[in-house]
Structure 1
């Protein structure tokens, strides 16, 4: 079953799996359950309340959402540079190939970074 992000179904599916949903709410999202009720707020409402309190940027830092973005960017780079397919038949050979690709990508990233040093006045 495929569930769209930022819906109650998605949050419910994630909580049934025993995980915490870290999904940024849509810009037009509205709180569904009022805080004055005796029931615990829905996780979607909790995220929305926190975003309204501290802002989206701060919420992403607090929740670790930025790490997801960084990992997606790294995988995008890997697929663009080396292709999105593994052409090895056996798992061990696939693992070695991916290890070498990651090592090469890390080396390329390091070569592209400028050398930084403190300048004394």
Structure 2
């Protein structure tokens, strides 16, 4: 991952048996392992904003389940239009299912 984009932040939880690497330069993974050791799992999740990743995965799962695993258009402009329409449809479905709350007192 670091070879493709050195600025990318990897938020994959290391295994409970993970140990820091033997290299002299600490990696992101080593930082995650140290954070897990210092603050615990929930502290690490707060530090890395892990909930945001989970919400993005849920949104993509919902998109794929309702609209299909892959775009049906062949060329990128058509794929972009298809994705925009799909997102608009999902947003409309979410708005239709959301209750209208009214404050009484």
Matched, 1:76 2:61: yes
Structure 1 residue runs without a partner (length 5+): 1-12, 34-38
| CA deviation string 1:33-79 (max 9, x = no partner) | 6xxxxx55443222112122222223222212222221111111111
Matched, 1:87 2:72: yes
CA-based RMSD of the aligned residues comes to 2.5
Aligned length: 103
| CA deviation string 1:4-50 (max 9, x = no partner) | xxxxxxxxx426731333221212223456xxxxx554432221121
- Residues of 2 paired with 1:85 and 1:32: CA distance? 37
Alpha-carbon distance change, 118 to 60 in structure 1, aligned in 2, over 3 angstroms: farther
User: Is contact 1:21–1:43 with CA below 8 Å preserved after alignment?
Assistant: yes
Alpha-carbon distance change, 25 to 16 in structure 1, aligned in 2, over 3 angstroms: same
Corresponding residue to 1:27 among 16, 19, 31: 16
Q: TM-score, normalised by structure 1?
A: 0.66
Q: TM-score, normalised by structure 2?
A: 0.74
